[in-house]
Amino acid sequence: MGHRPLYGHDALRERLAASWHAGRLPASMLLVGRRGVGKQRLALWLGQLLLCERAAAEQLAEPCGGCQHCRYADRAVHPDLHWFFPRPRLKDSDPSADDIKADLAETIAERMSADGLWSPSPGSDGLHVATVRTLVRQASVRPAMAARAVFVVGDAERMVSQEGADQAANAFLKLLEEPSASTTLILTSSEPGALLPTIRSRVVTIRVPPLTRSAMSEFLHDEAVVRRLQVLARKHDMGADAIARAAGAPGELFTGESTGASFANAARLLEAALLPAASAGTAERAKAAAAQGVAGARGAFTDMLDAMTVLLHHRTQQCVAAGHDADARRTASAMMFVEDAKQRAQGNVSPQLLTASLLSSLQRTLRR
């Protein structure tokens, strides 16, 4: 059991490997791109490359896959390749570093047992203060096995600020700004605008594009992927439309039990946004906004916004394919309002009011 092979991103991988061997790879990086394009998997691949004995000695552009470092990294058990990502808040109000590491290790083991085809963290999960403290403390420890340590932080925009946590935040910022010579930090985010400006200013941003059609085809023919999609198709009535929606973002195919509900909700809201500005349309939009979750369902609300981005992206592609360039431009510009709503959703706002404002903006943009 281990990671699936990394499909696609060939040109980017070549650039990263060349930068590493030339001594130009940034010590603190931020991989940004659409949700599901494989940013965390790419970050873990890069971590494996940096730890691989043969890659360093022979200037390889790929991890050799055979050395002990590669074998451990591939199974996600390398003691110097640390993987952090959003998790539910632990019951203990002040969990220890051992508690945090045990929770992550258990979840990583579950991801590996699922053939490395994991579902993304729900919108309600976060990178809590205790997790940041654990990361910073781990970074102060000498590598256990390799010459360096690599830290991958998935969905970095989910870092939860908390009163009284200034010490942890400042320590993390200092780590980003001045990592030790033997430490590499790789953050990933689908919503870089939601990251704290102090974090963005301390990292080198690298954009990760969607997979090409050929790379997506290779992924879909992976035996483990075929098996998993067959199971999902039976459980969630997932058909070819889901694969079309993924459009270069294979992670979108494994978004968990709530995927259908998120996309259905997003589709209903888009239908409401496309109604005329007349009173009947206004009333329907108000009704749709009122149906959105309150603060306790903030995770589901965030997942719905992610689904709306995917639907608008797919709609844009359809418009381009049909030669409707004006409609494609309007739909693409509408995605900016959704991205803005995602950022605002990180604060203490009402999902109903935010949805009402979003639907109004979408209606003006999509129907003009």
Q: What does the pLDDT read at residue 296?
A: 41
pLDDT average, residue stretch 337-347: 81
Q: Which CATH class is domain 10-207?
A: alpha beta
Asked whether the predicted pLDDT for residue 257 surpasses 60, the reply is no
Phi and psi (nearest 5°) for 240? -65, -25
Place of tokens 């009535």: 237
**pLDDT tens readout for residues 56-83:** 899 999 999 999 999 999 999 999 999 9
Determine the Cα–Cα distance for residues 172 and 319; give it in Å rounded to an integer.
44
Determine the Cα–Cα distance for residues 291 and 300; give it in Å rounded to an integer.
12
Long-range contact pairs involving 342-350 (C-beta distance under 8 Å, separation at least 24):
342/191, 342/193, 342/194, 342/302, 342/305, 342/306, 342/309, 343/191, 343/193, 343/194, 345/298, 345/301, 345/302, 345/305, 346/157, 346/194, 348/295, 350/294, 350/295
* Among the listed residues 5, 224, 234, the one whose alpha carbon sits nearest the alpha carbon of residue 114: 224
| DSSP-derived 3-state class of residue 263 | helix
> E strands within the chain?
28-32, 81-84, 149-153, 183-189, 204-207
Query: Token pair of 53, please?
Result: 């004995």
Q: Which residue has the higher pLDDT, 150 or 288?
A: 150
pLDDT average, residue stretch 17-33: 95
Determine the Cα–Cα distance for residues 90 and 309; give it in Å rounded to an integer.
30
What CA–CA distances, in Å, run from 178 to 28, 53, 175, 182?
Answer: 9, 25, 5, 11
**pLDDT tens readout for residues 139-174:** 999 999 999 999 999 999 888 765 445 666 788 888
> pLDDT band at residue 118, thresholds of 50, 70 and 90?
confident
Place of tokens 């508690």: 99
* Among the listed residues 256, 32, 49, 240, the one whose alpha carbon sits nearest the alpha carbon of residue 148: 49
